[in-house]
Chains A and B, each alone.
Chain A
Amino acid sequence: MKLIIAIIQPHRLEEVKKELYSVDVNLITVTEVLGHGRQKGVDEFYRGSKESGNLLRKIQLEIAVNENFVEPTIKAIIKGARTGKIGDGKIFVLDLPRCIRIRTGDEGPQAIG
Chain B
Amino acid sequence: MDQINSGDTAWVLVSSALVMLMTPGLAFFYGGMVRRKNILGVLMQCFTILCIISLQWVLFGYSLSFGPGNPFIGGLDWAGLKGVGLEPYADYSATIPHQAFMIFQAMFAVITPALIIGAFAERMKFSSFIVFSLLWATFVYAPICHMVWGVGGWVRSMGALDFAGGTVVHINAGIAALVTALFIGKRVGYENKSFPIHNLPFTVLGAALLWFGWFGFNAGSALAANGLAANAFVTTNTATAAAGLSWALLEWKLSGKPTMFGMATGAVAGLVAITPAAGFVNVCGAIIIGLLVSVFCFIAVGILKPKFGYDDSLDAFGVHCVGGAWGAIATGLFATKSVNSAGADGFFYGNPAQLIIQLKAVAVTVIYTFVVTAIIFKVVDMIMGMRVTSEDEVMGLDLTQHHERAYTILE
Contacts and interface: CB of A to CB of B under 8 A. Distances in A.
Q: Interface residue tally of chain B, by bracket?
A: 10 to 19
Contacts of B394: 9, 11
A32 interface: yes
A87 to B, nearest CB: 9
A28 interface: no
Contacts, number: 25
Contacts of B405: 44
A44 B399 contact: yes
Contact of A45 (B188, B189, B404): B404
B303 interface: no
A71 B37 CA distance: 33
A57 interface: yes
A43 interface: yes
Contact of A44 (B37, B404, B410): B404
A57 B409 contact: yes
Nearest to A43: B403
A34 interface: yes
Contact of B391 (A50, A55, A85): A85
B395 interface: yes
Contacts of A100: none
Interface string A17-56: 0000000000000001110000000111100001000010
Contact of B189 (A11, A43, A44): A11
Contacts of A42: 395, 399, 403
Given A11-B394, A42-B395, A34 B410 contact: yes
Interface residues of A, number: 14
Indicate the member of A34, A43, A44, A50 with the most B CB atoms within 10 Å.
A44
A107 to B, nearest CB: 35
A50 B402 CA distance: 12
A43 B398 CA distance: 11
A7 to B, nearest CB: 14
Nearest to A51: B403
A97 to B, nearest CB: 31
Interface in B27-62: 37
Contacts of A50: 403
B39 to A, nearest CB: 14
A85 B395 CA distance: 13
Contacts of B391: 85
Indicate the member of A9, A11, A34, A55 with the most B CB atoms within 10 Å.
A11
Interface of A: 9, 11, 14, 32-34, 42-45, 50, 55, 57, 85
For the complex of A and B, list the 10 residue pairs with the smallest distance between their C-beta atoms, beginning with the closest. A45-B403, A44-B403, A11-B394, A42-B399, A34-B409, A43-B403, A44-B404, A32-B409, A34-B410, A45-B404
Given A11-B188, A45-B402, 6 more contacts: A11-B394, A14-B189, A34-B410, A44-B404, A55-B410, A57-B37
15 contacts: A9-B394, A11-B188, A11-B189, A32-B409, A33-B409, A34-B409, A34-B410, A42-B395, A42-B403, A44-B399, A44-B403, A45-B403, A45-B404, A55-B410, A85-B391
